[in-house]
Amino acid sequence: MSCDTTSTTNIPSRSEPRDAPFRATTLIISLADQGVFSTSNFALNLFAARHLSPIDYGTFAVAFGAMLVLSRAHQMVFIEPMAVLGPVVYRSRLLRYLQSIAVLHGAVCAAAAVLIFASTFLLPSRLRGVMAIMGAGLPVILLQWLLRRSCYLRTKPASALKGSIVYAVALWSGAGLVALWTHITPLRLFLLTIAASLASCAVLARLLVRDLAGEEHQSTALYRDIFRRHWSYGKWGLGYAALDSVSDAGYIILVASILGLEKAAILRAIDTLFLPLQSVLAASVVLFLPLVAARVSSRPGHLIRIGGKWAAGGVASVCALYGVVLTLATSRLDLTKFAYGNTFYDQARWAVPYLAVAVVLRAVGDCGLGLILRGAGWSRSLFWYAFCGACGSVVVGVPAMRLWGIWGAVFGRLASSGALCLCSVWWYSKLVGGRTHGSRAS
């Protein structure tokens, strides 16, 4: 089914709102926003690993992984279609568009929270309380992510940065008080995250209304139109989110179910060392996806041919450099012992170079070529390269874990990343080949 969004508007008229001009300062502020937000979550994971036992940290990692799995589905239905459609289709009525999305977000997330709470009775007792709290706070946590991304529709990341600063201050003020007055538990860490997200939402909502104060107010809501367009774009994305989670955020759950919570904690601890890099990549996608979507609608051929090569080469170079530096730091400077305050997680530092290769492969497919495929509206391609990644995790990773333990888990990550990268290269070559050149694919 076609996901064509260019028929509504390609070139904004003089009467339509203009985006803020793209300058180097825009990129710097965007990176600062993602840096503040992701550094807070990165430090939260380090804080959890240092203060929790391996079993409790494994519990936290599984619940955090489950939240990320659900956030991927939310991203495909709300955030990513918003980044593609907002600058093109709804640019003249953006305030009403965002208000309608917020209402739909609340309804969907409330239903998901009820289902999560009901399903906790099927989980082991150690996970029930944490998963229930995570489900209850999911609408607030994901609303903050939605509002932060909304700030980029007019290329104004300064508002998103202010929201991230509020989040960081609230999170770490609360963490300091909890550490001072009582002991750290996975449940309390999630409560802190929910409270910090709520404070950030209040600030971001006010800033968005201020930034869009000049938008045209319409008396009619856009629910039906938004549902149709978002579903047209995101139906393949939902499958992508489910499959991609098997090889990404949900992989830690798979490891815990096969190898136990302690092994899941070890893999999560090593994965956490790559979070700063993943934050930079995420910041770049957040900033460039609306721009790519708008440019593809007017100059598809040039951007697709040149942009894909630059995007893939750029992310590969950055990820390779980061992997080399991290490998040297963990092997010669005892980075894992310094970061986590003990030698328990140091036993898996051998996995760093292998996971670095996996990160390079995944970044090329998902953040490099995937950025162009998303911007061109080829949402079906996301489903298929995520399917290849999930096959690598299940077909290779599960037997490997049963045979070789944590070694097998790392090998499964490599297999899934390689399969994903190869599939995205094939889809990009198909896009460049012009089989549906200059139009949006179904």
Residue 7: per-residue pLDDT: 33
- Given pLDDT bands bounded at 50, 70 and 90, which one contains residue 3? very low
Residue 265: per-residue pLDDT: 93
Rounded to a whole number, what is the distance in angstroms from the first to the last CA of the chain? 5
Q: In this model, does residue 237 exceed pLDDT 80?
A: no
Q: In this model, does residue 317 exceed pLDDT 90?
A: yes
What is the mean pLDDT of the segment spanning 416-438? 81
Report which DSSP code applies to 216.
Answer: P
* Per-domain boundaries in the chain: 24-432
The two tokens of residue 435 are: 């089989």
Q: Rounded to an integer, what distance in angstroms lies between the CA atom of residue 368 and that of residue 84?
A: 16
Write down the mean pLDDT value for the chain: 84
Contact 359, 316 (CB under 8 A): no
Please give the model's pTM, rounded to 2 decimal places.
Answer: 0.81
Q: In this model, does residue 442 exceed pLDDT 80?
A: no
Closest CA to 380 of 229, 273, 214, 234: 234
- Given pLDDT bands bounded at 50, 70 and 90, which one contains residue 231? confident
Q: In this model, does residue 343 exceed pLDDT 80?
A: no
Report which DSSP code applies to 153.
Answer: G
pLDDT tens for 58-97 read: 999 999 999 999 998 898 889 888 887 877 787 777 888 8
CA torsion angle 83 85 88 92 (round to 10): -100
- Given pLDDT bands bounded at 50, 70 and 90, which one contains residue 434? low
Alpha carbon 315 to its chain centroid, in Å, reads: 16
Q: Rounded to an integer, what distance in angstroms lies between the CA atom of residue 301 and that of residue 90?
A: 24
Q: Rounded to an integer, what distance in angstroms lies between the CA atom of residue 143 and that of residue 201?
A: 7
Say which residues have a Cβ less than 8 Å from residue 210's Cβ, sequence separation at least 6: none
Q: Rounded to an integer, what distance in angstroms lies between the CA atom of residue 368 and that of residue 363?
A: 6
pLDDT tens for 158-208 read: 899 999 999 999 999 999 898 888 888 999 999 999 999 999 999 999 998
- Given pLDDT bands bounded at 50, 70 and 90, which one contains residue 22? low
- Given pLDDT bands bounded at 50, 70 and 90, which one contains residue 11? very low
Q: In this model, does residue 396 exceed pLDDT 70?
A: yes
Residue 165: per-residue pLDDT: 95
Largest pairwise CA distance in the chain = 64
